[in-house]
Structure 1
Protein backbone atom coordinates (compact mmCIF):
# COMPACT_ATOMS: atom_id res chain seq x y z
CA UNK A 1 0.00 0.00 0.00
CA UNK A 2 1.34 3.45 -0.96
CA UNK A 3 2.50 5.46 2.03
CA UNK A 4 1.00 8.89 2.64
CA UNK A 5 3.37 11.80 3.31
CA UNK A 6 2.27 15.18 4.65
CA UNK A 7 4.75 17.93 3.77
CA UNK A 8 4.98 21.49 5.07
CA UNK A 9 7.23 24.02 3.35
CA UNK A 10 6.53 22.37 0.01
CA UNK A 11 7.03 25.58 -1.99
CA UNK A 12 10.43 26.34 -0.47
CA UNK A 13 13.82 25.57 -2.02
CA UNK A 14 14.08 22.07 -0.55
CA UNK A 15 10.35 21.36 -0.53
CA UNK A 16 9.83 22.01 -4.26
CA UNK A 17 12.50 19.55 -5.26
CA UNK A 18 11.55 17.05 -2.58
CA UNK A 19 8.04 16.90 -4.06
CA UNK A 20 9.53 16.00 -7.45
CA UNK A 21 11.63 13.27 -5.87
CA UNK A 22 8.82 11.69 -3.84
CA UNK A 23 6.01 12.10 -6.35
CA UNK A 24 4.82 8.79 -7.74
CA UNK A 25 6.36 6.68 -4.99
CA UNK A 26 4.15 8.22 -2.26
CA UNK A 27 0.75 9.81 -1.86
CA UNK A 28 1.58 13.45 -1.15
CA UNK A 29 -0.32 16.13 0.71
CA UNK A 30 1.22 19.61 0.89
CA UNK A 31 0.24 21.98 3.68
CA UNK A 32 0.27 25.58 2.45
CA UNK A 33 -1.04 29.01 3.41
CA UNK A 34 -1.94 29.46 -0.28
CA UNK A 35 -2.99 26.12 -1.82
CA UNK A 36 -3.75 27.67 -5.22
CA UNK A 37 -0.25 29.10 -5.49
CA UNK A 38 1.23 25.80 -4.29
CA UNK A 39 -0.74 23.96 -6.97
CA UNK A 40 0.59 26.29 -9.67
CA UNK A 41 4.14 25.59 -8.51
CA UNK A 42 3.89 21.88 -7.77
CA UNK A 43 1.14 20.55 -10.04
CA UNK A 44 -2.36 19.19 -9.70
CA UNK A 45 -1.50 15.58 -8.85
CA UNK A 46 -0.96 16.44 -5.18
CA UNK A 47 -3.42 17.07 -2.36
CA UNK A 48 -3.33 20.55 -0.80
CA UNK A 49 -4.52 21.72 2.61
CA UNK A 50 -4.24 24.82 4.76
CA UNK A 51 -3.24 24.48 8.41
CA UNK A 52 -6.83 25.29 9.40
CA UNK A 53 -8.07 22.43 7.20
CA UNK A 54 -5.79 19.92 8.92
CA UNK A 55 -7.73 18.27 11.73
CA UNK A 56 -6.23 14.77 11.88
CA UNK A 57 -3.16 12.74 10.94
CA UNK A 58 -4.90 9.35 11.16
CA UNK A 59 -4.19 8.42 7.54
CA UNK A 60 -0.69 9.92 7.36
CA UNK A 61 2.39 7.66 7.55
CA UNK A 62 5.16 10.28 7.47
CA UNK A 63 5.17 14.00 8.33
CA UNK A 64 7.98 16.13 6.88
CA UNK A 65 8.03 19.60 8.39
CA UNK A 66 10.12 22.15 6.47
CA UNK A 67 8.01 25.29 6.94
CA UNK A 68 9.54 28.54 8.15
CA UNK A 69 10.12 32.19 7.29
CA UNK A 70 13.49 32.57 5.49
CA UNK A 71 15.98 33.46 8.19
CA UNK A 72 18.38 35.69 6.24
CA UNK A 73 16.11 37.50 3.75
CA UNK A 74 15.44 40.55 5.93
CA UNK A 75 17.07 42.51 8.75
CA UNK A 76 16.36 41.06 12.18
CA UNK A 77 14.00 43.65 13.60
CA UNK A 78 12.05 42.57 16.67
CA UNK A 79 8.98 41.88 14.52
CA UNK A 80 10.98 39.91 11.96
CA UNK A 81 12.53 37.81 14.70
CA UNK A 82 9.04 36.99 15.92
CA UNK A 83 7.99 35.94 12.40
CA UNK A 84 11.09 33.75 12.05
CA UNK A 85 10.41 32.05 15.37
CA UNK A 86 6.66 31.57 15.25
CA UNK A 87 6.59 30.49 11.58
CA UNK A 88 8.57 27.47 12.82
CA UNK A 89 7.40 26.93 16.37
CA UNK A 90 3.65 27.28 15.87
CA UNK A 91 3.20 24.90 12.95
CA UNK A 92 5.51 22.36 14.57
CA UNK A 93 3.46 22.50 17.78
CA UNK A 94 0.24 22.00 15.79
CA UNK A 95 1.71 18.92 14.06
CA UNK A 96 2.96 17.49 17.35
CA UNK A 97 -0.45 18.00 18.97
CA UNK A 98 -2.12 16.15 16.08
CA UNK A 99 0.42 13.31 16.35
CA UNK A 100 -0.33 13.02 20.06
CA UNK A 101 -4.09 13.02 19.41
CA UNK A 102 -4.02 10.38 16.67
CA UNK A 103 -5.21 6.84 17.44
CA UNK A 104 -2.88 5.66 14.68
CA UNK A 105 -0.13 8.30 14.55
CA UNK A 106 2.39 8.59 11.70
CA UNK A 107 5.35 6.25 12.15
CA UNK A 108 7.86 9.01 11.31
CA UNK A 109 8.14 12.75 11.98
CA UNK A 110 10.99 14.49 10.13
CA UNK A 111 11.32 18.10 11.24
CA UNK A 112 13.58 20.90 10.11
CA UNK A 113 16.28 22.73 11.98
CA UNK A 114 19.63 24.21 10.98
CA UNK A 115 23.28 24.07 11.94
CA UNK A 116 22.71 27.53 13.40
CA UNK A 117 21.59 25.65 16.52
CA UNK A 118 25.29 25.24 17.37
CA UNK A 119 26.00 28.97 17.18
CA UNK A 120 29.43 30.22 16.13
CA UNK A 121 32.08 27.55 16.70
CA UNK A 122 35.27 28.65 14.91
CA UNK A 123 37.28 25.69 13.61
CA UNK A 124 35.99 23.17 16.16
CA UNK A 125 34.70 20.01 14.47
CA UNK A 126 30.99 19.74 15.30
CA UNK A 127 29.13 16.43 15.22
CA UNK A 128 25.63 15.58 16.42
CA UNK A 129 26.96 14.79 19.92
CA UNK A 130 28.35 18.32 20.35
CA UNK A 131 26.72 20.15 23.27
CA UNK A 132 28.75 23.34 23.89
CA UNK A 133 26.39 25.60 21.93
CA UNK A 134 27.02 29.34 21.60
CA UNK A 135 24.05 31.38 22.81
CA UNK A 136 22.72 33.60 20.01
CA UNK A 137 19.50 34.12 18.05
CA UNK A 138 19.98 31.25 15.59
CA UNK A 139 20.46 28.87 18.50
CA UNK A 140 17.34 30.17 20.25
CA UNK A 141 15.21 29.66 17.13
CA UNK A 142 16.47 26.17 16.33
CA UNK A 143 16.68 24.83 19.89
CA UNK A 144 13.03 25.55 20.66
CA UNK A 145 12.05 24.29 17.18
CA UNK A 146 13.77 20.98 17.95
CA UNK A 147 12.41 20.78 21.50
CA UNK A 148 8.85 21.12 20.21
CA UNK A 149 9.40 18.40 17.60
CA UNK A 150 10.84 16.02 20.18
CA UNK A 151 7.57 16.18 22.13
CA UNK A 152 6.35 13.61 19.57
CA UNK A 153 9.06 11.12 20.57
CA UNK A 154 6.72 8.94 22.63
CA UNK A 155 4.33 8.55 19.72
CA UNK A 156 6.54 8.10 16.62
CA UNK A 157 10.09 8.15 15.32
CA UNK A 158 11.48 11.70 15.25
CA UNK A 159 14.36 12.82 13.04
CA UNK A 160 15.68 16.40 13.13
CA UNK A 161 17.38 17.91 10.05
CA UNK A 162 20.18 20.25 11.10
CA UNK A 163 20.70 21.64 7.62
CA UNK A 164 23.71 23.52 6.29
CA UNK A 165 23.93 25.85 3.29
CA UNK A 166 22.01 24.07 0.51
CA UNK A 167 23.70 24.41 -2.88
CA UNK A 168 21.13 24.66 -5.66
CA UNK A 169 20.82 26.67 -8.87
CA UNK A 170 17.15 27.23 -8.06
CA UNK A 171 17.58 29.61 -5.13
CA UNK A 172 18.85 29.86 -1.58
CA UNK A 173 22.14 31.31 -0.39
CA UNK A 174 24.09 30.35 -3.51
CA UNK A 175 21.71 32.28 -5.78
CA UNK A 176 22.37 35.43 -3.75
CA UNK A 177 26.12 34.97 -4.13
CA UNK A 178 26.15 34.38 -7.87
CA UNK A 179 25.60 37.91 -9.23
CA UNK A 180 28.70 39.59 -7.74
CA UNK A 181 30.82 36.58 -8.65
CA UNK A 182 29.53 36.58 -12.23
CA UNK A 183 30.47 40.26 -12.44
CA UNK A 184 33.96 39.48 -11.18
CA UNK A 185 33.26 41.31 -7.91
CA UNK A 186 32.93 38.29 -5.63
CA UNK A 187 35.28 37.31 -2.87
CA UNK A 188 35.65 36.21 0.73
CA UNK A 189 33.46 37.75 3.42
CA UNK A 190 35.11 39.24 6.50
CA UNK A 191 38.22 37.27 7.40
CA UNK A 192 37.19 34.38 5.14
CA UNK A 193 38.35 31.98 7.84
CA UNK A 194 34.82 31.13 9.02
CA UNK A 195 33.67 27.67 8.01
CA UNK A 196 30.75 27.05 5.66
CA UNK A 197 29.04 23.71 6.14
CA UNK A 198 27.24 23.12 2.85
CA UNK A 199 25.32 20.32 1.12
CA UNK A 200 24.40 19.73 -2.51
CA UNK A 201 20.63 19.73 -3.04
CA UNK A 202 20.72 16.16 -4.38
CA UNK A 203 22.41 14.89 -1.22
CA UNK A 204 19.90 16.86 0.85
CA UNK A 205 16.97 15.16 -0.89
CA UNK A 206 18.62 11.74 -0.74
CA UNK A 207 19.35 12.27 2.95
CA UNK A 208 15.68 12.91 3.68
CA UNK A 209 14.68 9.85 1.64
CA UNK A 210 17.26 7.81 3.58
CA UNK A 211 15.69 8.88 6.89
CA UNK A 212 12.20 8.01 5.63
CA UNK A 213 13.30 4.50 4.68
CA UNK A 214 15.62 3.76 7.60
CA UNK A 215 13.21 2.83 10.38
CA UNK A 216 16.05 2.67 12.92
CA UNK A 217 17.08 6.29 12.27
CA UNK A 218 16.09 8.78 14.96
CA UNK A 219 17.33 11.89 16.70
CA UNK A 220 19.34 14.80 15.26
CA UNK A 221 21.19 14.58 11.95
CA UNK A 222 23.62 17.06 10.43
CA UNK A 223 22.60 17.47 6.78
CA UNK A 224 25.94 18.76 5.52
CA UNK A 225 28.77 17.55 3.33
CA UNK A 226 31.50 15.54 5.11
CA UNK A 227 33.95 18.25 3.97
CA UNK A 228 33.06 21.76 5.15
CA UNK A 229 35.20 24.57 3.75
CA UNK A 230 36.23 28.02 4.83
CA UNK A 231 34.47 30.96 3.23
CA UNK A 232 37.78 31.85 1.52
CA UNK A 233 38.08 28.38 -0.02
CA UNK A 234 34.42 28.43 -1.05
CA UNK A 235 34.83 31.83 -2.71
CA UNK A 236 37.85 30.66 -4.69
CA UNK A 237 36.06 27.49 -5.79
CA UNK A 238 32.94 29.39 -6.89
CA UNK A 239 34.99 31.97 -8.82
CA UNK A 240 36.90 29.16 -10.53
CA UNK A 241 33.65 27.38 -11.42
CA UNK A 242 32.34 30.60 -13.01
CA UNK A 243 35.72 31.37 -14.60
CA UNK A 244 35.89 34.73 -12.88
CA UNK A 245 38.53 36.40 -10.69
CA UNK A 246 38.35 36.34 -6.91
CA UNK A 247 40.21 39.47 -5.91
CA UNK A 248 37.72 41.46 -3.83
CA UNK A 249 36.83 41.08 -0.17
CA UNK A 250 33.65 42.12 1.60
CA UNK A 251 34.69 43.80 4.89
CA UNK A 252 32.76 42.74 7.96
CA UNK A 253 31.62 46.31 8.72
CA UNK A 254 30.00 46.61 5.27
CA UNK A 255 27.99 43.44 5.80
CA UNK A 256 27.00 44.52 9.31
CA UNK A 257 25.80 47.85 7.91
CA UNK A 258 23.73 46.13 5.22
CA UNK A 259 22.36 43.22 7.23
CA UNK A 260 22.57 44.21 10.87
CA UNK A 261 22.57 41.35 13.38
CA UNK A 262 21.71 38.77 10.70
CA UNK A 263 25.22 39.27 9.27
CA UNK A 264 26.34 36.95 12.09
CA UNK A 265 25.10 34.05 9.94
CA UNK A 266 27.82 34.65 7.34
CA UNK A 267 30.55 36.33 9.40
CA UNK A 268 30.73 33.37 11.78
CA UNK A 269 30.41 29.68 11.03
CA UNK A 270 30.56 26.09 12.15
CA UNK A 271 32.75 23.22 10.95
CA UNK A 272 29.86 20.74 10.96
CA UNK A 273 30.19 17.13 9.77
CA UNK A 274 27.43 14.51 9.25
CA UNK A 275 28.80 11.81 11.53
CA UNK A 276 25.49 10.01 12.08
CA UNK A 277 24.55 9.76 8.40
CA UNK A 278 27.98 8.37 7.55
CA UNK A 279 27.93 5.91 10.45
CA UNK A 280 24.48 4.66 9.43
CA UNK A 281 25.56 3.98 5.84
CA UNK A 282 24.46 7.03 3.85
CA UNK A 283 26.61 7.75 0.77
CA UNK A 284 27.11 11.32 -0.43
CA UNK A 285 27.13 11.85 -4.19
CA UNK A 286 28.93 15.17 -3.78
CA UNK A 287 31.22 15.11 -0.74
CA UNK A 288 33.69 17.58 -2.31
CA UNK A 289 32.90 21.21 -3.12
CA UNK A 290 34.49 21.19 -6.60
CA UNK A 291 32.26 18.32 -7.73
CA UNK A 292 29.16 19.80 -6.09
CA UNK A 293 29.59 23.14 -7.91
CA UNK A 294 30.41 21.40 -11.19
CA UNK A 295 27.15 19.44 -11.01
CA UNK A 296 25.08 22.64 -10.74
CA UNK A 297 23.87 24.55 -13.80
CA UNK A 298 25.56 27.84 -12.98
Structure 2
Protein backbone atom coordinates (compact mmCIF):
# COMPACT_ATOMS: atom_id res chain seq x y z
CA UNK A 1 0.00 0.00 0.00
CA UNK A 2 1.01 3.62 -0.53
CA UNK A 3 0.28 5.43 2.74
CA UNK A 4 0.56 9.16 3.41
CA UNK A 5 1.09 10.05 7.08
CA UNK A 6 0.76 13.38 8.85
CA UNK A 7 2.37 13.65 12.28
CA UNK A 8 4.92 11.01 11.24
CA UNK A 9 7.64 12.54 13.42
CA UNK A 10 5.61 12.21 16.62
CA UNK A 11 5.74 9.45 19.23
CA UNK A 12 3.21 7.16 17.54
CA UNK A 13 3.96 8.39 14.02
CA UNK A 14 7.65 7.51 14.21
CA UNK A 15 6.90 3.96 15.36
CA UNK A 16 4.07 3.51 12.85
CA UNK A 17 6.17 4.74 9.91
CA UNK A 18 8.98 2.34 10.77
CA UNK A 19 6.53 -0.54 11.23
CA UNK A 20 4.77 0.08 7.91
CA UNK A 21 8.05 0.42 6.05
CA UNK A 22 9.22 -2.82 7.64
CA UNK A 23 6.02 -4.48 6.42
CA UNK A 24 6.84 -3.46 2.85
CA UNK A 25 4.49 -0.49 2.48
CA UNK A 26 5.38 2.73 0.63
CA UNK A 27 5.22 5.55 3.20
CA UNK A 28 5.15 9.28 2.46
CA UNK A 29 5.59 11.58 5.46
CA UNK A 30 4.04 15.05 5.40
CA UNK A 31 6.51 17.65 6.72
CA UNK A 32 6.34 21.41 7.32
CA UNK A 33 9.72 22.09 5.69
CA UNK A 34 11.28 21.35 2.32
CA UNK A 35 11.19 17.56 1.75
CA UNK A 36 14.45 15.71 2.33
CA UNK A 37 13.73 12.93 -0.13
CA UNK A 38 11.08 10.97 -2.03
CA UNK A 39 9.64 9.68 1.24
CA UNK A 40 8.58 13.17 2.28
CA UNK A 41 6.20 15.85 0.96
CA UNK A 42 5.72 19.38 2.28
CA UNK A 43 2.49 20.99 3.41
CA UNK A 44 1.27 23.92 5.52
CA UNK A 45 -1.81 22.81 7.46
CA UNK A 46 -2.01 26.08 9.41
CA UNK A 47 -2.66 27.80 6.07
CA UNK A 48 -4.75 24.91 4.74
CA UNK A 49 -2.21 24.21 1.99
CA UNK A 50 -1.56 20.73 0.62
CA UNK A 51 -1.02 19.88 -3.03
CA UNK A 52 -3.61 17.20 -3.73
CA UNK A 53 -1.11 15.54 -6.08
CA UNK A 54 0.66 14.26 -2.95
CA UNK A 55 -2.41 12.14 -2.19
CA UNK A 56 -3.03 11.08 -5.77
CA UNK A 57 -2.50 7.33 -6.05
CA UNK A 58 -2.34 6.80 -2.29
CA UNK A 59 -4.27 3.87 -0.88
CA UNK A 60 -4.64 5.42 2.57
CA UNK A 61 -4.02 8.58 4.58
CA UNK A 62 -3.15 8.42 8.29
CA UNK A 63 -3.67 11.60 10.31
CA UNK A 64 -1.69 11.78 13.56
CA UNK A 65 -1.05 15.54 13.72
CA UNK A 66 -1.68 17.56 16.84
CA UNK A 67 0.04 19.56 19.56
CA UNK A 68 0.88 17.57 22.70
CA UNK A 69 -2.07 17.38 25.10
CA UNK A 70 -0.10 17.17 28.34
CA UNK A 71 3.16 18.92 27.49
CA UNK A 72 2.32 22.12 29.38
CA UNK A 73 -0.44 23.89 31.28
CA UNK A 74 -3.70 24.61 29.52
CA UNK A 75 -3.69 28.36 29.11
CA UNK A 76 -6.32 29.78 26.74
CA UNK A 77 -3.67 30.10 24.04
CA UNK A 78 -2.48 26.52 24.56
CA UNK A 79 -6.01 25.11 24.40
CA UNK A 80 -6.58 27.00 21.16
CA UNK A 81 -3.34 25.55 19.78
CA UNK A 82 -4.34 22.00 20.79
CA UNK A 83 -7.71 22.39 19.05
CA UNK A 84 -6.51 24.18 15.91
CA UNK A 85 -3.58 21.81 15.38
CA UNK A 86 -6.06 18.95 15.06
CA UNK A 87 -9.01 20.46 13.26
CA UNK A 88 -7.00 22.43 10.68
CA UNK A 89 -4.79 19.51 9.75
CA UNK A 90 -7.76 17.16 9.42
CA UNK A 91 -9.73 19.59 7.26
CA UNK A 92 -6.67 20.31 5.11
CA UNK A 93 -6.36 16.59 4.39
CA UNK A 94 -10.05 16.05 3.62
CA UNK A 95 -10.14 19.15 1.39
CA UNK A 96 -7.17 17.84 -0.62
CA UNK A 97 -8.91 14.47 -0.98
CA UNK A 98 -12.00 16.25 -2.23
CA UNK A 99 -10.04 17.83 -5.09
CA UNK A 100 -9.08 14.42 -6.45
CA UNK A 101 -11.13 12.48 -8.97
CA UNK A 102 -10.26 9.26 -7.13
CA UNK A 103 -9.39 9.94 -3.46
CA UNK A 104 -7.57 7.42 -1.25
CA UNK A 105 -9.80 4.55 -0.18
CA UNK A 106 -9.11 4.86 3.56
CA UNK A 107 -8.70 7.79 5.95
CA UNK A 108 -7.43 6.79 9.40
CA UNK A 109 -7.75 9.91 11.54
CA UNK A 110 -6.64 9.78 15.16
CA UNK A 111 -9.06 10.48 17.99
CA UNK A 112 -8.63 9.75 21.70
CA UNK A 113 -10.13 8.21 24.81
CA UNK A 114 -10.83 11.79 25.84
CA UNK A 115 -14.02 11.46 23.75
CA UNK A 116 -15.63 9.80 26.76
CA UNK A 117 -14.92 12.62 29.17
CA UNK A 118 -13.15 12.43 32.52
CA UNK A 119 -15.67 10.83 34.89
CA UNK A 120 -17.50 7.90 33.34
CA UNK A 121 -18.70 4.81 35.17
CA UNK A 122 -18.89 1.34 33.63
CA UNK A 123 -17.38 -0.08 30.46
CA UNK A 124 -17.09 2.35 27.58
CA UNK A 125 -17.68 0.75 24.21
CA UNK A 126 -17.71 2.59 20.90
CA UNK A 127 -21.48 3.13 21.06
CA UNK A 128 -21.21 5.17 24.27
CA UNK A 129 -21.94 8.87 23.80
CA UNK A 130 -19.38 11.63 24.36
CA UNK A 131 -18.57 12.93 27.81
CA UNK A 132 -18.01 16.45 29.03
CA UNK A 133 -14.95 18.66 29.06
CA UNK A 134 -12.52 20.23 26.63
CA UNK A 135 -11.12 16.92 25.36
CA UNK A 136 -14.56 15.40 24.81
CA UNK A 137 -15.70 18.42 22.82
CA UNK A 138 -12.45 18.41 20.84
CA UNK A 139 -12.76 14.70 19.98
CA UNK A 140 -16.36 15.14 18.79
CA UNK A 141 -15.28 17.99 16.49
CA UNK A 142 -12.12 16.12 15.45
CA UNK A 143 -14.06 13.04 14.40
CA UNK A 144 -16.65 15.18 12.62
CA UNK A 145 -13.84 16.88 10.67
CA UNK A 146 -12.56 13.47 9.58
CA UNK A 147 -15.98 12.62 8.21
CA UNK A 148 -15.81 15.58 5.81
CA UNK A 149 -13.72 13.24 3.63
CA UNK A 150 -15.31 12.64 0.21
CA UNK A 151 -18.04 10.06 -0.25
CA UNK A 152 -16.63 6.59 -0.74
CA UNK A 153 -13.65 7.10 1.57
CA UNK A 154 -13.68 4.66 4.49
CA UNK A 155 -13.14 6.83 7.57
CA UNK A 156 -11.79 5.28 10.77
CA UNK A 157 -11.34 7.31 13.97
CA UNK A 158 -9.24 5.30 16.47
CA UNK A 159 -9.85 6.41 20.05
CA UNK A 160 -6.42 5.76 21.53
CA UNK A 161 -5.73 5.51 25.24
CA UNK A 162 -2.46 5.62 27.20
CA UNK A 163 0.35 4.18 25.07
CA UNK A 164 3.02 2.35 27.11
CA UNK A 165 6.58 2.43 25.81
CA UNK A 166 10.11 1.99 27.16
CA UNK A 167 10.77 5.52 25.88
CA UNK A 168 8.12 7.02 28.13
CA UNK A 169 5.45 8.29 25.79
CA UNK A 170 2.25 8.91 27.71
CA UNK A 171 3.99 7.84 30.92
CA UNK A 172 5.97 11.06 30.67
CA UNK A 173 8.15 11.65 33.74
CA UNK A 174 6.56 8.75 35.67
CA UNK A 175 8.69 5.99 34.13
CA UNK A 176 12.09 7.52 35.03
CA UNK A 177 10.86 8.02 38.60
CA UNK A 178 9.73 4.40 38.80
CA UNK A 179 13.12 3.26 37.50
CA UNK A 180 14.74 5.19 40.37
CA UNK A 181 12.33 3.72 42.90
CA UNK A 182 10.82 7.09 43.81
CA UNK A 183 7.56 6.91 41.82
CA UNK A 184 4.05 5.94 42.71
CA UNK A 185 0.35 6.20 41.81
CA UNK A 186 -1.24 9.47 40.75
CA UNK A 187 -4.20 10.64 42.81
CA UNK A 188 -6.06 7.84 44.59
CA UNK A 189 -5.04 5.52 41.75
CA UNK A 190 -8.51 4.07 41.36
CA UNK A 191 -9.10 5.82 38.03
CA UNK A 192 -9.04 3.49 35.03
CA UNK A 193 -6.61 4.28 32.23
CA UNK A 194 -7.25 2.59 28.85
CA UNK A 195 -3.72 1.38 28.14
CA UNK A 196 -1.97 -0.30 25.20
CA UNK A 197 1.66 -1.11 24.38
CA UNK A 198 3.26 0.84 21.55
CA UNK A 199 3.79 -2.30 19.45
CA UNK A 200 0.10 -3.16 19.75
CA UNK A 201 -0.84 0.42 18.94
CA UNK A 202 0.98 0.38 15.61
CA UNK A 203 -0.19 -3.17 14.87
CA UNK A 204 -3.77 -2.06 15.48
CA UNK A 205 -3.34 0.84 13.07
CA UNK A 206 -1.97 -1.47 10.37
CA UNK A 207 -4.86 -3.84 11.06
CA UNK A 208 -7.38 -1.00 10.67
CA UNK A 209 -5.78 0.03 7.38
CA UNK A 210 -6.45 -3.45 6.01
CA UNK A 211 -9.81 -4.18 7.65
CA UNK A 212 -13.35 -3.21 6.68
CA UNK A 213 -14.00 -1.43 9.98
CA UNK A 214 -15.06 2.20 9.85
CA UNK A 215 -16.09 4.88 12.30
CA UNK A 216 -14.89 4.93 15.93
CA UNK A 217 -12.66 2.12 17.18
CA UNK A 218 -11.40 1.94 20.77
CA UNK A 219 -7.67 1.23 20.61
CA UNK A 220 -6.58 -0.20 23.95
CA UNK A 221 -5.74 -3.58 25.48
CA UNK A 222 -8.56 -5.95 26.43
CA UNK A 223 -7.48 -6.05 30.09
CA UNK A 224 -8.79 -3.14 32.15
CA UNK A 225 -6.49 -1.64 34.77
CA UNK A 226 -6.57 1.30 37.13
CA UNK A 227 -3.56 3.50 37.84
CA UNK A 228 -2.71 1.59 41.02
CA UNK A 229 -2.42 -1.62 38.99
CA UNK A 230 -0.50 -0.01 36.13
CA UNK A 231 2.08 1.55 38.47
CA UNK A 232 2.35 -1.63 40.57
CA UNK A 233 2.96 -3.84 37.51
CA UNK A 234 5.55 -1.47 36.05
CA UNK A 235 7.34 -1.19 39.40
CA UNK A 236 7.33 -4.98 39.85
CA UNK A 237 8.75 -5.50 36.35
CA UNK A 238 11.46 -2.95 37.15
CA UNK A 239 12.08 -4.53 40.58
CA UNK A 240 11.52 -1.19 42.27
CA UNK A 241 9.16 0.04 45.01
CA UNK A 242 6.31 2.39 44.12
CA UNK A 243 4.89 3.87 47.28
CA UNK A 244 5.36 7.63 46.78
CA UNK A 245 1.81 8.54 45.80
CA UNK A 246 1.25 11.97 44.24
CA UNK A 247 -1.99 13.36 45.73
CA UNK A 248 -4.64 14.86 43.48
CA UNK A 249 -4.32 18.40 44.96
CA UNK A 250 -0.61 18.42 44.10
CA UNK A 251 -1.37 17.34 40.52
CA UNK A 252 -3.96 20.10 40.17
CA UNK A 253 -1.47 22.64 41.53
CA UNK A 254 1.37 21.61 39.22
CA UNK A 255 -0.59 20.84 36.05
CA UNK A 256 -3.59 23.10 36.46
CA UNK A 257 -7.00 21.78 37.48
CA UNK A 258 -8.44 21.20 34.00
CA UNK A 259 -5.43 19.34 32.64
CA UNK A 260 -5.11 17.23 35.79
CA UNK A 261 -8.80 16.29 35.87
CA UNK A 262 -9.20 15.51 32.17
CA UNK A 263 -5.90 13.73 31.56
CA UNK A 264 -4.21 12.34 34.67
CA UNK A 265 -7.17 11.85 37.01
CA UNK A 266 -9.67 10.88 34.29
CA UNK A 267 -11.54 7.61 34.78
CA UNK A 268 -12.15 5.83 31.45
CA UNK A 269 -12.70 2.08 31.54
CA UNK A 270 -12.63 1.72 27.78
CA UNK A 271 -13.27 -1.61 26.08
CA UNK A 272 -11.89 -2.40 22.59
CA UNK A 273 -15.15 -4.09 21.59
CA UNK A 274 -14.82 -3.68 17.83
CA UNK A 275 -11.19 -4.87 17.72
CA UNK A 276 -12.12 -7.92 19.80
CA UNK A 277 -15.18 -8.73 17.69
CA UNK A 278 -13.20 -8.42 14.43
CA UNK A 279 -10.45 -10.79 15.60
CA UNK A 280 -7.49 -8.48 16.25
CA UNK A 281 -4.69 -10.25 18.17
CA UNK A 282 -2.68 -8.34 20.78
CA UNK A 283 0.97 -9.07 21.45
CA UNK A 284 0.50 -7.72 25.00
CA UNK A 285 -3.12 -8.37 25.96
CA UNK A 286 -2.31 -8.48 29.69
CA UNK A 287 -0.81 -5.64 31.71
CA UNK A 288 1.89 -7.90 33.17
CA UNK A 289 3.11 -8.71 29.63
CA UNK A 290 3.22 -5.03 28.64
CA UNK A 291 5.02 -4.07 31.87
CA UNK A 292 7.71 -6.70 31.26
CA UNK A 293 8.12 -5.43 27.70
CA UNK A 294 8.54 -1.85 28.94
CA UNK A 295 11.00 -2.91 31.65
CA UNK A 296 13.07 -4.90 29.15
CA UNK A 297 13.51 -1.86 26.92
CA UNK A 298 11.14 -3.16 24.27
CA UNK A 299 12.96 -6.45 23.73
Normalising by structure 2, we get a TM-score of 0.92
- Summarize deviations over 1:93-114 as a string: whole Å, max 9, x none: 0111112221011000000010
Counterpart position of 1:141: 138
Counterpart position of 2:41: 48
Match of 2:195 among 194, 198, 204: 198
Instruction: Structure 2: give runs of 5+ residues left out of the alignment.
Output: none
**Corresponding residue pairs, total:** 288
**Contact 1:13–1:171 (CA under 8 A) maintained in structure 2:** no
Provide the C-alpha distance between the structure 1 equivalents of 2:101 and 2:216, rounded to a whole number of angstroms: 26
Query: What is the alpha-carbon root mean square deviation over aligned residues?
Result: 1.6
- Summarize deviations over 1:2-52 as a string: whole Å, max 9, x none: x3211001001111011111115222111122456xx5xxxx562332234
Instruction: Give 4+ residue runs of structure 1 displaced > 4 Å after superposition.
Output: none
Counterpart position of 1:226: 222
1:53 Cα deviation (Å)?
4.9
Provide the C-alpha distance between the structure 2 equivalents of 1:150 and 1:276, rounded to a whole number of angstroms: 19
Normalising by structure 1, we get a TM-score of 0.92
Instruction: Structure 1: give runs of 5+ residues left out of the alignment.
Output: none
Counterpart position of 1:178: 175
Provide the C-alpha distance between the structure 1 equivalents of 2:171 and 2:34, rounded to a whole number of angstroms: 27
Counterpart position of 2:164: 167
1:65 Cα deviation (Å)?
0.3
Counterpart position of 2:124: 126
Provide the C-alpha distance between the structure 1 equivalents of 2:77 and 2:274, rounded to a whole number of angstroms: 36
**Contact 1:115–1:164 (CA under 8 A) maintained in structure 2:** yes
Which stretch of structure 1 is more off in the superposition, 284-293 or 24-33?
24-33
1:217 Cα deviation (Å)?
1.3
Secondary structure class of the residue paired with 1:166 = strand
**Contact 2:50–2:96 (CA under 8 A) maintained in structure 1:** no
**Contact 2:31–2:40 (CA under 8 A) maintained in structure 1:** no
Q: Residues 71-90 of structure 1: matches in 2 within 5 Å? A: 71-90=69-88
1:228 Cα deviation (Å)?
2.0
1:55 Cα deviation (Å)?
3.2
Counterpart position of 1:287: 285
Match of 2:19 among 14, 18, 21: 21
Secondary structure class of the residue paired with 2:171 = helix
Secondary structure class of the residue paired with 2:279 = coil
Provide the C-alpha distance between the structure 1 equivalents of 2:105 and 2:96, rounded to a whole number of angstroms: 13
Provide the C-alpha distance between the structure 1 equivalents of 2:237 and 2:144, rounded to a whole number of angstroms: 40
- Aligned CA distance change for structure 1 residues 45 and 101 (closer, same or farther; 3 Å): closer
Which stretch of structure 1 is more off in the superposition, 7-16 or 182-191?
182-191
Provide the C-alpha distance between the structure 2 equivalents of 1:107 and 1:99, rounded to a whole number of angstroms: 10
**Contact 2:221–2:285 (CA under 8 A) maintained in structure 1:** yes
Counterpart position of 1:158: 155
Provide the C-alpha distance between the structure 2 equivalents of 1:73 and 1:175, rounded to a whole number of angstroms: 9
Provide the C-alpha distance between the structure 2 equivalents of 1:166 and 1:236, rounded to a whole number of angstroms: 17
Counterpart position of 2:248: 252
